[in-house]
Amino acid sequence: MMIKETYAVAANDMSVAGDVSASIKRQMKRLGIPNQIMRRVSVCTYEAEINLVIHSDGGEIDFEISEEEIRVHVRDVGPGIPDLEKAMTEGFSTATSEVRNMGFGAGMGLPNMKRNADGFSIESEVGKGTDIVMTFNI
């Protein structure tokens, strides 16, 4: 079984935030991915999608399933992250007060992704964007 899908995520549109991660979860459920793995992938894709919506100028999420693993590759166009170490600290956020008032931007997105993925890498360049790859063993 090999599945590969690419989903576009628009910036600043909270009305559709979560749609991509919900679609990915439905696909995993249909394929019979174990609940524990499905939950972890769902947490990570949701956090990534929210970050794309609130912090970038949009981007894409590639979702791949092979016999051995699930791979999620998140790419955005945007401001980039000036200090990755600080951004990986629980509670650190650059979200606007408007976003925080909607219940987002608590500074847990990147730490939650790293905690829930079996493999996690992040690269970011200021003025260009951020690239995250997460893997989950099946």
pTM of the model: 0.91
CB contact at 8 A, 129 and 113: no
Q: Stretch 77-103: mean pLDDT, rounded?
A: 83
Domains of the chain: 3-137 (3.30.565.10)
- Examine the pLDDT at 10 and tell me if it is beyond 70: yes
- Examine the pLDDT at 1 and tell me if it is beyond 80: no
Structure confidence at residue 24 (pLDDT): 96
Structure confidence at residue 66 (pLDDT): 94
CB contact at 8 A, 75 and 59: yes
